[in-house]
């Protein structure tokens, strides 16, 4: 657990418990936690895998190379209209996490 991520979560007001839940899942999956671009970032063997983040109406898991992931349920969406590789999963409640 990275101390900067602890501080990030302490300051979070909208989605604090939900982001903590995502953090726990990432750590249980064996990913390394870092703090990059003012966001919790999860890596594997030094490679950036994803970041978690908070938006006004949702919270997200954003995969740096999401286009390489199989997505049979089509839950991934492009991060922006000009994004070519990053894809994200948008959550609107804690129950959205449980459904995955």
**Model confidence pLDDT, tens digit, residues 23-74:** 999 999 999 999 999 999 999 999 999 999 999 999 999 999 999 999 999 9
Which tens digit of pLDDT belongs to each residue from 74-95? 999 998 888 889 999 999 998 9
Predicted model pTM:
0.91
Query: Which structural domains are found in the chain, ordered by start?
Result: 3-99 (3.90.1150.200)
d(CA 32, CA 55): 23
């Amino acid at each position: 657990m990275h101390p900067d991520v602890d501080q990030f979560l302490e300051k979070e007001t909208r989605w604090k418990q939900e982001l903590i839940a995502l953090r726990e899942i990432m750590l249980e999956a064996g990913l390394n936690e870092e703090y990059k671009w003012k966001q919790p970032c999860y890596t594997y063997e030094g490679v950036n895998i994803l970041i978690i983040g908070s938006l006004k109406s949702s919270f997200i898991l954003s995969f740096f190379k999401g286009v390489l992931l199989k997505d049979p349920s089509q839950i991934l969406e492009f991060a922006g209209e000009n994004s070519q590789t990053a894809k994200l999963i948008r959550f609107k409640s804690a129950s959205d996490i449980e459904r995955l």
